[in-house]
Structure formats: structure tokens, C-alpha cells
């Protein structure tokens, strides 16, 4: 699978994970809150059912807005804010029979699931600091907690947050490592090992797909087909090492003369395809002529002997993605015309 497609699929899976967490908190947690809210309607603690009913209603409203807007990032941020508000409100009030602290422990993990490592760590830190202030300055809240109970709760909550952070931090690092590995494999698969230029697979699996998806970023597109003249004679005379040196020198010549947005690909033994976005036919001919001239003027040295290398070039233009293969074929036809006309020239 191409790197970009794999990365997009990984992002889709992560979005589904966050979506499921959002749905769980919104539906299951709000259902539990409604049940406990109804059970406490007749109790003396008037604030508790208000907290439960209000939070549950807001959870459901948030997930409803998400289903309408499909804005997952915004829905997760709002859900995290509601979670934090619920935790602080419940601890402030005390919950049923002063059991509020027991209900806090699931929520750090929920924040990590909704927000990602960095944002969740910050939110959990703010939540922890606020809870410390509330618990160790008891006059600020309505509930009454024992000092030993508060300190044990804070210590336990710190452990939960740290464990959640370790788990999510290394999960993200693992995903990044796999992402880099996939990118490296994709790069190796799309790169010619000798010249370090792109190969034919890169054209078929990546470049053509991008041109079809984003034509305005590439078109009009010029093709320059290049073939080194009498390459077999070079190999026979200087051996394959000499031939490899020529190929690497030609690749380096392409790098010096092409723009950052241009592509140089090795598509055969001594055959190269240059792909130049947003360029006119005349400018493409000029680029090919410049490379041809520099190559012929650049002496090659092998076994203390200096010799010259020439190449023939064919140039073609395409104006839409559907003409891509036809444009390459036309450039190849122009290349053979240059060969038949005596080599070491540009046709187009």
C-alpha cells in the first residue's frame, strides 16, 4: 500500500477510535447519569440530580451536533470540557453518600482517548491541580472529605494519569515509528538504488495518482525522455563500473538543472524520464538542450582516460491527466527520432 494511502487509513482508524469513545461517553455515561439522577430526585441533595441531568443532556446534545456537523475534533474538545466540568461539579457536591471521588478515576483515560497525549496531559494536570485545591481547602466546596481520603485519592489519581500517559505516549511513538518505517519502505521501493532517482514504480503508484487528484498542481506537464548514446559500447570499453559512473553522473546533472518541483526518473538501463510541471513546450526544449550540452561538455574519466558522453532527448507536453501515458509515448517517439537523426540532439 502506498505511504500516503497507509497514512490516510491509519488516520481513519484513529478517528474511528475517538468516535467510539465519544459515542460511549455520550450514550452510556449519560444513560448511567439519568438513572442515578432519577434515583436521587427525592433525596435531600438537590444539586446532585441537577448535575447529573444537566451533564447527561449536554453529552447527548454534543453527540447530536457531531452527527449533524461531522466535526470530530470540535466534538471531542467539547466532550472533554464537559467531562472536566462534571468531575469538578461532582467532587464539589460530593455525590451520593459522599462517593464522588470513586467516579473520577475513569475520566483521565477518557481525556487521553478524546484529546491525544499532549492535550490530555495538560487537561489532566489542570484537573488534578483544581481537585487538589478543592480537597485541601475544604471551605471552598460543599462536600466534606476526610483528609486521609483526599490524600489517598490524589495519590491514586496521579498514578492513573501517569499510567494513562505512559500507555498513550508509547502507543503514539510506536505508531510514529511504524509510520517512518512505512515511509522508508515506500521510499526504497520508489527509488533506483544506483542513481537515487525515482523509478518507474514511483510514476505508476504515486505521481500519476497525485496528478489525477490535483491536476492544477501539475498541468501543463512536460516529458523529457533521455537515452545515453552508445551505452553498450561504454560498458564494453570500461566495464559495468564505468557504465555505473556515467549513470550516476547523468543523475547528478539532472539534479543541478531541474527545479525543486521537477521529477527525474530512471525508467530503463540507460533511459531516463524527466517530468516537469507547469512549463511550456519551448521551455522544456530549452531545459533538454541545456542538459544535453552540459553532458557533452563534461569529460568522463575512467582508467586515466578521458572520454565524452552524449545523450539523445525527446520532448512532449500534456494538458490533462488522461494524456499522461500518451505524452510519455510521444516523448519516447521523439527520442527515437533524435536517435535516427544522428544522436546527441533534442527532438520535440
Q: Quick check: 265 pLDDT over 50?
A: yes
Q: Which residue has the cell 453529552?
A: 59
The sign one gets for the Cα dihedral 173, 178, 182, 188 is: positive
The predicted model gives 19-48 an average pLDDT of 86
Residue 270 designated active-site: yes
DSSP string, 261-299: T-EEEE-SSSEEEEEEES--HHHHHHHHHHHHHHHHHS-
Q: Quick check: 282 pLDDT over 80?
A: yes
* Model confidence pLDDT, tens digit, residues 241-261: 888 989 999 999 999 999 888
Burial of 213 (0-12, 13-18, 19+ CB in 10 A): exposed
How confident is the model at residue 206, as a pLDDT?
77
Q: What is the mean pLDDT of the chain?
A: 87
Q: Give the list of residues 6+ apart from residue 345 with CB closer than 8 angstroms, or none.
A: 292, 312, 313, 338
pLDDT above 70 coverage of the chain, percent: 91
Q: For residues 277 and 279, what is the distance between their CA atoms, to the nearest angstrom?
A: 6
This prediction has a pTM of: 0.54
* Model confidence pLDDT, tens digit, residues 51-74: 999 999 999 999 999 999 999 999
CA angle 22, 128, 44 (to 5 degrees): 80
Q: Tell me which range, 205-219, 230-244, 248-262, is most confidently predicted by mean pLDDT.
A: 248-262
> 15 falls in which pLDDT band (50, 70, 90)?
confident
| Structural class in CATH, domain 198-347 | alpha beta
How confident is the model at residue 174, as a pLDDT?
64
* Model confidence pLDDT, tens digit, residues 98-143: 888 888 888 899 999 899 888 999 999 999 999 999 999 988 888 8
91's grid cell? 467532587
> 46 falls in which pLDDT band (50, 70, 90)?
confident
What value does the CA radius of gyration of the chain take, rounded to a whole number of Å? 33
Q: Quick check: 275 pLDDT over 50?
A: yes
How confident is the model at residue 207, as a pLDDT?
82
Q: Quick check: 181 pLDDT over 50?
A: no
Q: Quick check: 97 pLDDT over 90?
A: no
Q: Quick check: 285 pLDDT over 90?
A: yes
Question: Which of 1, 56, 58, 23 shows the shortest CA–CA distance to 178?
Answer: 1
The predicted model gives 184-207 an average pLDDT of 75
pLDDT above 90 coverage of the chain, percent: 49
How confident is the model at residue 184, as a pLDDT?
47
Q: For residues 149 and 95, what is the distance between their CA atoms, to the nearest angstrom?
A: 15
The predicted model gives 145-150 an average pLDDT of 88
> 217 falls in which pLDDT band (50, 70, 90)?
confident
Q: For residues 299 and 307, what is the distance between their CA atoms, to the nearest angstrom?
A: 6
How confident is the model at residue 1, as a pLDDT?
44
Q: For residues 40 and 112, what is the distance between their CA atoms, to the nearest angstrom?
A: 30
Name 266's bridge partners: 199, 272
> 227 falls in which pLDDT band (50, 70, 90)?
very high
Catalytic residue among 73, 147, 270, 322: 270
Q: Quick check: 314 pLDDT over 70?
A: yes
- Looking at 24-71, list the stretches that DSSP marks H as alpha helix, in order from N- to C-terminal side: 30-39, 47-69
CB 273 within 8 A of CB 265: yes
Domain ranges of the chain: 3-184, 198-347
* Residue 275 φ/ψ region, left for φ over 0, alpha for ψ in the -120 to 50 degree band, beta for the rest: beta
Beta strands in the chain (DSSP E): 198-199, 221-228, 263-266, 271-277, 300-302, 305-307, 311-318, 346-347
Amino acid at each position: 500500500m502506498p505511504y500516503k494511502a497507509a497514512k490516510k487509513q491509519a488516520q481513519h482508524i484513529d478517528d474511528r477510535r475517538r468516535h467510539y469513545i465519544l459515542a460511549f461517553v455520550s450514550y452510556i455515561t449519560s444513560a448511567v447519569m439519568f438513572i442515578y439522577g432519577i434515583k436521587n430526585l427525592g433525596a435531600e441533595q438537590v444539586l446532585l440530580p441537577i448535575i447529573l441531568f444537566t451533564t447527561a443532556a449536554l453529552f447527548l446534545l454534543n453527540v447530536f451536533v457531531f452527527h449533524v456537523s461531522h466535526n470530530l475534533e470540535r466534538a471531542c474538545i467539547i466532550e472533554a470540557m464537559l467531562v472536566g466540568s462534571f468531575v469538578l461539579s461532582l467532587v464539589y457536591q460530593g455525590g451520593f453518600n459522599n462517593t464522588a471521588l470513586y467516579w473520577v478515576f475513569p475520566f483521565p483515560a477518557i481525556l487521553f482517548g478524546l484529546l491525544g497525549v499532549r492535550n490530555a496531559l495538560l487537561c489532566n494536570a489542570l484537573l488534578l491541580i483544581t481537585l487538589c485545591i478543592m480537597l485541601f481547602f475544604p471551605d471552598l466546596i460543599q462536600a466534606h472529605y476526610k483528609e486521609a481520603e483526599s490524600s489517598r485519592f490524589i495519590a491514586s489519581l496521579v498514578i492513573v494519569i501517569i499510567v494513562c500517559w505512559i500507555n498513550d505516549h508509547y502507543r503514539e511513538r510506536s505508531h510514529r515509528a511504524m509510520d517512518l518505517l512505512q515511509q522508508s519502505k515506500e521510499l526504497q521501493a520508489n527509488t533506483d538504488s544506483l542513481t537515487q532517482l525515482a523509478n518507474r514504480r514511483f510514476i505508476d503508484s504515486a505521481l500519476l495518482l497525485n496528478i489525477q487528484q490535483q491536476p492544477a498542481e501539475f498541468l501543463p506537464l512536460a516529458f523529457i525522455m533521455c537515452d545515453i548514446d552508445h551505452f553498450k559500447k561504454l560498458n564494453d570499453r570500461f566495464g559495468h563500473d564505468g557504465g555505473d559512473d556515467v549513470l550516476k553522473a547523468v543523475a547528478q546533472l539532472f539534479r543541478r538543472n531541474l527545479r525543486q518541483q521537477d521529477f527525474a526518473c530512471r525508467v530503463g538501463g540507460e533511459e531516463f524520464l524527466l517530468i516537469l510541471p507547469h512549463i511550456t513546450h519551448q521551455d522544456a526544449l530549452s531545459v533538454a538542450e541545456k542538459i544535453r550540452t552540459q553532458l557533452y561538455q563534461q569529460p568522463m574519466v575512467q582508467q586515466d582516460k578521458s572520454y565524452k558522453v552524449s545523450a539523445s532527448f525527446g520532448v512532449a507536453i500534456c494538458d490533462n491527466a488522461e494524456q499522461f501515458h500518451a505524452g510519455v509515448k510521444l516523448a519516447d517517439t521523439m527520442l527515437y527520432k533524435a536517435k535516427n537523426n544522428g544522436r546527441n540532439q533534442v527532438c520535440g
